[in-house]
Structure 1
Amino acid sequence: MEVMRNVNGKLLRCGYTTGACAAAAAKAAGIMLICGSPVRQVSIGTPKGIDLTFDVLDARITAGCANCAVRKDSGDDPDVTDGILVYAQVEKRVQGIVIDGGAGVGRVTKPGLDQPVGEAAINSVPREMIMKGLIKTAEQHGYEGGFAVVISIPGGEELAKRTFNPRLGIEGGISIIGTTGIVEPMSHQAMADTVRLELRQLSAAGVNDVLLTPGNFGEAFARESLGLSTENHVKCSNFIGVAIDAAVELGFSRILLVGHIGKLVKLGIGVTNTHSSFGDGRMETLLACAATGGAELSLLQGITQSVTTDAALTLIYEAGLLKETMAELEKRIGFCLQRRVPEGVTIGFLCFTTAQPMKGILTKSANADELMEIWGIRK
């Protein structure tokens, strides 16, 4: 089943994440392992709530083992993984489900990523999708044992050289990722235009206040952790500056930005398009904020060597300087946002992390509580 999206009047085809492909291949291999016969197609559910059906390729069954692949389709917004084969090898075990990466799947070598050091770079949501598919398969076929799953991608090691994986500390292959199972077909221009269109629609409906979130994490945190209504909400993706400018032009009087530290930290050096291709500066910003907060040289060196903001924050937290560092970051983000809006427009922000032990709100603007009351947020 093809999933389509209307983007600025043009019908575009969605793609599927590597995580969805891995889950589909694993489910098909699990069915073959239990039933002893090849499978031509397999269907899976996704966190997006959309069921997907994949053709099953290169199906092989040997003694106690089943292998097969599905082809990755990136839709009308292709990336380096478009067309690759994602393989799953599934074997029986006494109980439980064990998931690992084989050839072409990266291995985590630095802390701060979704998976611990030493684990295959198969992120949490794809792992959950794989497990759910196999559990359902076992229940449907009366199988009470467990599974050992190995996901592999031929050519993945070479493909990874064209991604950010080596820089992030993922070696030997690509990552199995995705939070929804679906790849939305959006070019930079199309996404920016969509953000403007959604703001224009709210303005036309007489709305004066808008909540902005960069993505799924921000929206989920605002709704689930803060109790916020997302009725007057626009997901601005990486286009924070575009969204603010458009909101100002359309006459919005109050703007609240809620986002993960990994995105909002870039505002600390004035980067308002947070896509990696437009610049980074995350560690440099945290380093400067920590230095202002009194960090010693050893901590600053640790920050520069971190591959994610959460990894750097953990070091800052352990040094007892999180409060001081976030106070400086609040000033920098506030300066960036305030210079973007004219007098008479109120703008505030709230920055959070989902990583332990800092999980929750890290810093917020002085007017955030007032804005949250407007949106009816439970503080």
Structure 2
Amino acid sequence: MRDETSEQPAPLRSGYTTGSCATATSLAAARLLLAGEVSEVAEIVLPKGQRVPMRLTFCRLLETGDGGESDESGEGSDPGRIAEAGTIKDAGDDPDVTHGALVFARVRLLAEPGVRFRAGPGVGTVTRAGLTLAVGEPAINPVPRQMMARHLDELAEQYGYRGGFEVTVGVEGGAQLALKTMNPRLGIVGGLSILGTTGIVRPFSCSAYIASIHQGIDVARANGYTHLAACTGNASEDAMRAHYGLPDIALIEMGDFVGAVLKHMKRAPVERLSICGGFGKLSKLAAGHLDLHSRNSSIDLEQLATWAAQHGADDALQAAMRAANTSQQALALAHARQVPLGDMVCRRALAVARDIVPPEVNVEMFAIDRQGNLVGVAR
């Protein structure tokens, strides 16, 4: 569990990705095999050139085999040995599901040059097409693979080793942690993905979530789904599942990042895109906001009253809507007077979306109330 956050303002602290953790631990384990050196800290170089030391929880020889056949590629190496190293993932101040998890790598020497990756306990396996990794591959993303391979190649050159490495990456408790991510929906089974493009976790950055949205769209398309529903949360997913009977793979959990969905349609279009969200969030999209989080956009009750006026709301209703505590209250006031505010908001949101997506994508909007009932539609 994280320490309680200080009440005093302070700069947000960055952390390191699971890809950086896997790189540091595989490097330390390989060094133990090649040089007999037990490391307490492993220094790695991130993709943009920063050098960072990562403290290890353990670095040890896991298994001594029977010696096996002689390794003709390395001097004094024993292909029967396996070494492992682990580190605690520190995500800084980012609310990362893997913060505090033990990430480890087990390394075995191979006669053939190169690096072979395997999924250890808590790391998933790809079972659906559409990701950057082939079906059957361990869910270790391309940049972490490149980071590990580069560090291991440099280590091999340093010690005159001409063989290769088998690297098994694991995350303690990763199978349970993965249930809190989109991995099951993406067809990544058995655990987490080893992620990272820069090696650094920026606090409260949105890049990982947006990447998972893009992956969800790509996987659905690769598996033949031409109608997708992008939803802001569980209630909107339930509404689309009930309305269309869509399977989970076609339901894209976009959260507040509707802009990420709409912009990705330019590179990965589908025949039909249904967008469903709470009325308040869709009112933000209707006003032109593509990030629906409260820190970046606000519900504008004045704007809602103005839109209602264009469809017959009198001065008293407009005043009541402006004084409402929530958008849901404003919606209820309008609907009680037969002013179709939900449909109006959906039509305006649809216009914003159509300005972004390619014309071949048939977009539609659905707004729901807090009970999950449809309160507005536009096609």
Which band: TM-score by shorter chain?
0.5 to 0.7
- Name the structure 2 match of 1:93: 110
Partner of 1:74: 91
> 1:84 and 2:101 equivalent?
yes
Q: Which has the larger radius of gyration?
A: 2
- Aligned pair 1:47/2:65, yes or no? no
1:14 deviates by 0.5
Q: Identify the residue that residue 168 of structure 2 maps to in structure 1.
A: 150
Query: 1:102/1:328 Cα in 2 relative to 1: closer, same or farther (>3 Å)?
Result: closer
Deviation at 1:328, TM superposition (A): 6.7
Give 3-state SS (helix, strand or coil) of 2:150's partner: helix
Partner residue of 2:127 out of 97, 102, 109: 109
TM-score normalised by length of structure 2 = 0.52
> What secondary structure sits across from 2:11 in the alignment?
strand
Amino acid of the structure 2 residue aligned with 1:126? P
Can you list the C-alpha shifts for 1:143-191, whole angstroms capped at 9, x where unaligned? 11111111112221222223222222222111111222111112xxxx7
> d(CA) in 2 for partners of 1:106 and 1:20?
17
Task: Say whether the 8 Å CA contact 1:110–1:307 is kept in structure 2.
Answer: no
Q: Cα offset for 1:113?
A: 2.4
Deviation at 1:278, TM superposition (A): 9.7
Cα distance in structure 2, aligned partners of 1:33 and 1:174: 27
After superposition, residues 185-334 of structure 1 pair within 5 angstroms as 185-186=203-204, 262=217, 304=247, 306=249
For residues 77 and 216 of structure 1, the distance between their equivalents in structure 2, rounded to whole angstroms, comes to 11
How far apart in 2 are the matches of 1:48 and 1:277? 38
Residue 184 of structure 2: aligned partner: 166
Q: Report the secondary structure of 2:12's partner residue.
A: strand
CA–CA distance in structure 2, aligned partners of residues 339 and 59 of structure 1? 55
CA separation of 1:67 and 1:328: change in aligned 2, threshold 3 A: closer
Question: What's the CA shift for 1:110?
Answer: 2.1
Kindly provide the amino acid, as one letter, of the partner of residue 169 in structure 2: I
Relative to structure 1, the CA distance from residue 262 to residue 91 in structure 2 (aligned partners, 3 Å threshold; closer, same or farther) is same
Secondary structure in structure 2 of the residue aligned to 1:12: coil
Closer/same/farther in 2, CA of residues 36 and 308 from structure 1, 3 Å limit = farther
- AA in 2 matched with 1:28: A
Answer yes or no: is the 8 Å Cα contact 2:237–2:251 preserved in 1: no
Counterpart of 2:336 in structure 1 is none
1:27-46 residue pairs with structure 2 within 5 A?
Answer: 27-46=27-46
The 8 Å contact of residues 23 and 129 in structure 1, kept in 2 or not, is answered as yes
Change (3 A) 1:340 1:36: same
Query: Identical aligned pairs, as a percentage?
Result: 37
Is 2:28 the counterpart of 1:11?
no
1:118 aligns to 2:136 (yes or no)? yes
**Which residue pairs with 1:20 in the alignment?**
20
> For this pair of structures, how many residues does the alignment match?
250
Identify which of 129, 154, 159 aligns with 1:141. Answer: 159
Q: Out of 127-136 and 110-119, give the one that drifted further.
A: 110-119
SS in 1 for 2:139: coil
1:160 to 1:138, Cα distance in 2 relative to 1, 3 A: same
Higher helix share: 1
CA deviation map 1:309-344 (0-9, x unaligned): 8xxxxxxxxxxxx99x65876xxxxxx9995359xx
Give the counterpart letter for 2:193 in structure 1: S
Query: 2: distance between equivalents of 1:181 and 1:142?
Result: 28
Match of 1:231 in 2: none
Over 3 Å counting, the alpha-carbon distance change for 1:58 and 1:260 in structure 2 is closer
CA deviation digits over 1:215-247, x for unaligned, max 9?
5999xxxxxxxxxxxxxxxxxx99xxxxxxxxx
Q: CA RMSD in A?
A: 4.7
Q: Gapped runs of 5+ residues in structure 1?
A: 1-8, 192-213, 219-236, 239-258, 289-300, 310-321, 330-335, 353-361, 364-379
- 1:315: which partner in 2? none
CA distance in 2, matches of 1:146, 1:140: 14
SS of corresponding position for 1:29: helix
Alpha carbons of 1:58 and 1:114: their partners in 2 closer, same or farther (altered >3 Å)?
same
Contact in 2 for aligned 1:125/1:178 (Cα 8 Å):
yes
1:114 shift after superposition: 3.0
Equivalent position of 1:57 in the other structure:
57
Amino acid at match of 1:66: A
Distance in 2, Cα, partners of 1:87 & 1:338: 43
